[in-house]
């Protein structure tokens, strides 16, 4: 067991929302981090975290005792944060993207690294959009980012949208193995927790499907281009030789986004056996560094014809694995398969924590 | 109101199952047909229909009074059927496809037209697979079928699988308007009622998605080829210039199959406005003949960005319309859209009834 | 078919909410009434009804064409209402009970009878709380109410809470037959539509039960006392010789409140056969007057051991019947049984319409 | 960590069913027990456990590796069991109660203690029906049972039905504190997992409630009498001074039975504060012995007005706690409250494991 004294104190911006709650839950007993600062909107400021989430705590485990008694600060109180923690997780929700950008920059300027779930800075070219198994090397642009803004220890990294988490790592594994994918069709069946709380009204989703999620298809189509992109002169240059078309739907599932994926290769094609072997043996930076939240097996292939299923596979590797199944030929492209990941663990808070663990291992957070 | 005396007495084979129940429900007060014969497996034979479905009636309206008191016959009792009705709806479930084929042929040989929901004869080349709005002209092969088998008044027509009902008519409307579609990707989100009763276990589908339905993707990819096919010398010749790739999933929805569709055109492409106009103004044989179960508007386009939805759109036009929405450009093909139809009405019993109404109007059933 | 010219023009206050939408749906093609005025909060005022409910229409049939094009007025615009309709249905939601009371009185003062679903005036002693099958004679206090307030044609009647609709009529039938009930335990399993829209968050109710509904247990325990009460000098005097204890829970059901009821008799007890006979043969004022929305059979007893069920019984008699089942001895009291009614039809809009039909038949609305 | 060598090898009869799967899941990494023998019906015999549950494993974690490779034996193969394990958990399902009784006796006769979840022996007067927090002293009849049957090391203990697990411990805590309860009304809202797999058809429970569970109300009313009973001459004598009336319903919840309870006291009544204090401070034998599966706090009282809720409270204390809330006066009896427990953990496999741990601690299993 890690010595409690040495844990890094962390802050959570937007701590009372759905993703914030998941951070609080996952960071209980974390070996490296301890929650020392929680911040939210002005109406929660000044009261205890337990009071702030009373009646709206939606996790299926109780509020951790330590977090319950923390006083909630206003998210704009950068000074209070700087006194209490060494970096912050941001799951801010504000009226405009610009407000979030500005506030995240204020934290970085105050010397606090910002590990963000928010979409505000995802397309800022000198801010990495990180999946540690896919593009850990994008962290190399952080010094240029710091230099550009004149920041010393502070910086910003983001993570991508939850909708693409299930299929981007499997695609990357194939590309890393030398196969070029040039076209992707994906239909997602997304869980209600992705919409936050209160989020989706029960009258809209019980015995129903909603075939639309605002802004989601655009993110699902475009964000992989930056993640798969290259680094040039301190900036990330998105890839342009892959085209993705996405249809995003909401289904009555609590946690776990499912993606039905069709892929086409440019050039040589792997056999199904090769694909399964590539996925099953795939290991990357988080596994090499043995990060605390890293799934031992990042991509799990299930041979059963009716898997992956959200309720039965979302918790694989504590919700940090991607589970894939039903690889088969596609009459139009080359292959089709089903991919699944836990949207509020791997796709949100768990993914953010893994990012922070990588930043510690790589000495960006000290 | 039609004179009750003149109604055509009909039989239902497999009357106690899910689709059989829907037939019983929809045929209550039908202007042309009255249920005069119900048949099922040996264990239901000899008791009243009400007793046969006790504890397993899953419709949300009570068992119609007339049907409740009918005695259930064994499905193999062709003689009893021939005494009591002029044609039969078949939703037989038997151990093998061959058994169903044989029994359906026995009914036809006994002079009874068989309007079938079963898949057994869908690929028999001289048996039409019918969607009245799409390929009513395929009925022209019935005389050749009768001649081949030596049947007089009896014959067999089938209807396609419920999974493709939502998108085949919209595709047909575009092709009829002169646009050639050559590639289609479709992911379906299918309702539990499609699996019959008891069908899907609640432990498998609450808070879950099952990304596999046995045999469904093959049907979804291949059956449209026959429906879109041409007639040659008393046989149906499937079309070969379209390729469809399907992924079929089961979701926690009671009724209503949703399809997320991507299409590509060969040659000239319609504009979005043209497509919507083609769909909204589409009328075909059932509308021209004003068949009792024909939807006045077979394809309804909804402009709201979050429609069609199964619970809110499945009952459009009494469950007989296809509802379409979210037409938008596809970065990989040309367009993508969402389509929805009621799987046990339009996709099963209602579709079968419409087939029979067309057969009456066209004098195949007299 | 009634002559359209002679239909009574009616208004709906709170027309955009859940219950308001149900009124709009049920009044399409009503033989006596036509919707001529719709009112809601200021933010909907001045736009069409279709626009006002865009994205929040939750019925499973389309918006009726006539209603869609009506302009929405502000609910406080009594003058506009008086120009356009002869009485109003009130399903107002406002910040305080006093505001609703005041506004409903303003409508009555303007000469418009108010048939209210709101709880504001339920305990005003000279305002009837009406279930037409139970206490139609309470209408006799309307003249005293009008005299007290100095109203001419206007007045206010209310209907009780949806939670008690399922068991109050069965209790009444037994009491009317001469059996005294003195103690009742009831646990309700209530549908999400009872909470309006957006109402219950999906994250709170999928795979869950919420054992609390604000204010519901008090209403469930107390309102029957007024309904069962007597009339004295223009006021309703609640009954005091029955005690009810209620536990109210929310379950993942869209429509249909289920009640598990235990009852004890003071004095002689009917046999189970007598109870079933009393219920099955029960007819009251709405049936005698053959009101358009009256269920032919107000209490349906189902002998199947696993009924009533919300999804399969809520639509009995077009959602206006109470369905009862599982009558059996109670080891602690005398009997226990299950009762069910459709909460937004019988328990809300349908019940309000039946109230209005009774008021027309009894010449209170002319 | 316990030395793996010293773990007690255990068998599971009925290992492929719902409860059997839960045993397999919960016993992975158990400090005292290791699964060494799995048995089921003849059709699973001879294949691996993984193969036997393929396509029907319904837990939300993967099949434990050790269990996956065990060969499944026929449940009647007592000899094989005796070679491989020191005692067995029985969750047998057979055609008749007598068959289960006979087979459980055969195991006991072979020297194997039987820790049973089955209902077959619950009313055998010299077999304890055990909740370790309530009636641990009932184990004292085991020697008499062994003597009666002529068994040496073998014996049978049972656990009660899952439906009563949520409220029996809270009632016991009050009675142990000196308050006499004489009447109880309880309505349960039970999870689908209680019906096993495939169990409840999804068409029967999505958007629905089923107000009937075969045999459940009788068990819920009568079993507490034996649990609360006294021991006389080697037999358990059921209590007769409490009357319970139960209504049992099935709701669309995966795990976790909720009970709405009304209680009346004979003689002095505790205040609400006293009740809460009694519950919160309640500790019993499993806590005193610090059994591995014992909840540290067996009864958790939640002050939030909308708890306990199945999805949010079923996992309290790893699914072994009872969670109680909403204590309030009852107008008919004295108090009402809501109680909840995890039906397949505390109410089934977890409860069985706790029974076995107590039997080890008390030296009945050696």
List the pLDDT tens digit at each of the 366 positions of chain D.
444 458 999 999 999 999 999 999 999 999 999 999 999 999 999 999 999 999 889 888 889 999 999 999 999 999 999 999 999 999 999 999 999 999 999 999 999 999 999 999 999 999 999 999 999 999 999 999 999 999 999 999 999 999 999 999 999 999 999 999 999 999 999 999 999 999 999 999 999 999 999 999 999 999 999 999 999 999 999 999 999 999 999 999 999 999 999 999 999 999 999 999 999 999 999 999 999 999 999 999 999 999 999 999 999 999 999 999 999 999 999 999 999 999 999 999 999 999 999 999 999 998
pLDDT above 60 (res A260): yes
CB contacts, 8 Å: D260 with chain C: 187, 211, 247, 249
Task: Give which of B71, B179, B130 is closest to B359, Cα–Cα.
Answer: B130
pLDDT tens-digit profile of B109-165? 999 999 999 999 999 999 999 999 999 999 999 999 999 999 999 999 999 999 999
pLDDT above 70 (res C74): yes
Q: Which candidate from D189, D208, D311 shows the least CB-CB separation from C311? A: D208
pLDDT of residue B5: 58
The answer on B241 and B183 residing in a single domain is yes
pLDDT tens-digit profile of B84-107? 999 999 999 999 999 999 999 999
The answer on A297 and A269 residing in a single domain is yes
pLDDT of residue B60: 85
The answer on B193 and B337 residing in a single domain is yes
Question: pTM for this one?
Answer: 0.95
3-state secondary structure chain D: CCCHHHCEEEEEECCCCHHHHHHHHHHCCCCCEEEEEEEECHHHCCCEHHHHCCCCCCCCCCCCHHHHCCEEEECCCHHHHHHHCCEEEECCCCCCHHHHHHHHHHHHHCCCCEEECCCCCCCCCCCCECCHHHHHHHHHHHHHHHHHHCCCCCCEEECCCHHHHHHHHHHHHHHHCCCEEEEEEEEEEECHHHHCCCCCEHHHHCCCCECCCCCHHHHHHHHHHHHCCEEECCEEECCCCCEEEEEEEECCCCCCEEEEEEEEEECCCCCHHHHHHHHHHCCCHHHHCCCCCCCCCCEEEECCCCCCCHHHHCCHHHHCCEEEEEEEECCCCCEEEEEEECCCHHHHHHHHHHHHHHHHHCCCCC
The answer on A178 and A122 residing in a single domain is no
List strand residue ranges (DSSP E) for chain A, in order.
Answer: 8-13, 33-40, 72-74, 87-90, 114-116, 156-158, 180-190, 230-232, 235-237, 243-250, 257-266, 299-302, 322-329, 335-341
Domain contains C366: no
pLDDT of residue A5: 58
User: Is A192 an 8 Å CB contact of chain C?
Assistant: yes
Domain contains A337: yes
The answer on A233 and A181 residing in a single domain is yes
Once rounded to an integer, what is the mean pLDDT over residues A332-355?
A: 97
Domain contains C94: yes
CATH number for the domain that contains residue B14: 3.40.50.720
The answer on C327 and C204 residing in a single domain is yes
Domain contains B100: yes
pLDDT above 70 (res C1): no
DSSP run (H or E) holding B354: helix B350-361
The answer on A280 and A245 residing in a single domain is yes
Domain contains A64: yes
Helices (H) and strands (E) in chain B, counts: 14, 14
User: Is D221 an 8 Å CB contact of chain C?
Assistant: yes
pLDDT of residue C38: 97
The answer on C217 and C274 residing in a single domain is yes
Q: What are the per-10-residue average pLDDT scores of chain B (366 residues)?
A: 70 96 96 97 95 90 92 96 97 93 97 97 97 98 97 97 96 98 98 95 98 97 98 96 98 98 97 98 98 98 95 96 98 98 96 98 95
8 Å CB contact of B184 and A251: no
What is the Cα D158 distance to its own chain's centre? 8
Domain contains A168: yes
Looking at per-residue confidence, does B38 or C59 come out higher? B38
Judged on CB neighbours under 10 Å (0-12, 13-18, 19+), C124 is: middle
Is residue C257 part of the annotated active site? The answer reads yes
Once rounded to an integer, what is the mean pLDDT over residues A336-352?
A: 97
Residues 6+ apart with CB under 8 A from B250: B190, B192, B194, B195, B200, B205, B209, B210, B211, B212, B213
Contacts by residues C292-296 (CB-CB < 8 Å, ≥ 24 positions apart):
C292/C30, C292/C31, C292/C32, C292/C357, C293/C26, C293/C318, C293/C320, C293/C350, C293/C353, C293/C354, C293/C357, C294/C132, C294/C320, C294/C354, C294/C357, C295/C320, C295/C321
The answer on C293 and C279 residing in a single domain is yes
Task: Give which of D202, D253, D203, D244 is closest to D226, Cα–Cα.
Answer: D244
Peptide bond into D308 cis (omega under 30): yes
Enter the tokens of residue C46: 């001045």
Q: Whole domain around residue A330: which residue ranges? A: 163-341
CB contacts, 8 Å: A245 with chain B: 262, 330-333, 336
Measured between CA atoms, how close is D208 to chain B, in angstroms?
11
The answer on D332 and D183 residing in a single domain is yes
Measured between CA atoms, how close is D121 to chain A, in angstroms?
34
pLDDT band at C4 (very low <50, low <70, confident <90, very high): very low
User: Is D262 an 8 Å CB contact of chain C?
Assistant: yes
Name chain C's partners: 3 or more CB pairs within 8 A.
Answer: A, B, D
In the set B85, B91, B162, B236, the catalytic residue is: B162
Strand, coil or helix: C49: helix
pLDDT tens-digit profile of A231-249? 999 999 999 999 999 999 9
Rounded Cα gap, residues D217 and D264, in angstroms: 19
pLDDT of residue D5: 58
User: Is A220 an 8 Å CB contact of chain B?
Assistant: no
Q: Which residues between 149 and 168 in chain C have a beta carbon less than 8 angstroms from any beta carbon of chain B?
A: none
pLDDT band at C101 (very low <50, low <70, confident <90, very high): very high
CB contacts, 8 Å: B198 with chain D: 198, 201, 203-204
The answer on A200 and A56 residing in a single domain is no
Once rounded to an integer, what is the mean pLDDT over residues C209-225?
A: 97
Percent of chain A with pLDDT over 70: 99
8 Å CB contact of A202 and C197: no
Q: What are phi and psi of B350, to 5 degrees?
A: -65, -40
CB contacts, 8 Å: A210 with chain B: 306, 309
pLDDT of residue C328: 98
CB contacts, 8 Å: D207 with chain A: 206-207
Q: Are strands B33-40 and C87-90 parallel, antiparallel or unpaired?
A: unpaired
Domain contains A366: no
Domain count across chain B: 2
Domain contains A189: yes
CATH number for the domain that contains residue A322: 3.30.360.10
pLDDT of residue A55: 85
The answer on C204 and C61 residing in a single domain is no
Interface test with A, best of C202, C210, C251, C310 (most A CBs within 10 A): C202
């Amino acid at each position: 067991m890690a010595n409690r004294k040495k844990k890094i104190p962390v802050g959570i911006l937007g701590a009372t929302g759905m993703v914030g709650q998941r951070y609080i839950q996952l960071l209980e007993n974390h070996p490296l981090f301890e929650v020392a600062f929680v911040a939210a909107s002005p109406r929660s400021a000044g009261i205890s975290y337990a009071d702030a989430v009373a009646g709206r705590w939606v996790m299926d485990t109780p509020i951790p005792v330590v977090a319950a008694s923390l006083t909630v600060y206003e998210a704009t109180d950068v000074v209070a944060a700087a006194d209490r923690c060494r970096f912050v997780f941001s799951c801010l929700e504000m009226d405009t993207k610009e407000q979030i950008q500005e506030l995240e920059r204020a934290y970085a300027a105050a010397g606090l690294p910002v590990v963000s779930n928010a979409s505000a800075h995802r397309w800022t070219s000198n801010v990495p959009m990180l999946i540690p198994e896919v593009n850990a090397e994008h962290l190399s642009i952080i010094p240029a980012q710091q230099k550009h803004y004149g920041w010393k220890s502070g910086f910003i990294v983001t993570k991508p949208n939850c909708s693409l988490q299930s299929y981007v790592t499997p695609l990357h594994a194939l590309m890393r193995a030398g196969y070029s994918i040039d076209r992707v069709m994906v239909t997602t069946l997304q869980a209600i927790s992705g919409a936050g709380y209160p989020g989706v009204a029960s009258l809209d989703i019980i015995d129903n499907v909603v075939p639309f999620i605002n802004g989601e298809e655009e993110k699902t189509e475009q964000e992989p281009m930056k993640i798969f992109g290259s680094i040039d002169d301190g900036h990330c240059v998105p890839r342009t030789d892959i085209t993705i078309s996405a249809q995003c739907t909401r289904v009555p599932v609590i946690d776990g986004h499912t993606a039905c994926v069709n892929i086409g290769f440019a050039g040589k094609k792997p056999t199904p056996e090769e694909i399964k072997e590539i996925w099953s043996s795939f290991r990357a930076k988080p596994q090499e560094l043995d990060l605390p939240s890293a799934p031992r097996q990042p991509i799990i292939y299930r041979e059963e014809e009716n898997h992956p299923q959200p309720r039965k596979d979302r918790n694989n590797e504590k919700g940090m694995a991607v589970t894939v199944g039903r690889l088969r030929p596609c009459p139009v492209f080359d292959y089709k398969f089903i991919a699944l990941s836990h949207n509020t663990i791997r796709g949100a808070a768990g993914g953010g924590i893994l990012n922070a663990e990588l930043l510690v291992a790589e000495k960006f957070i000290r």
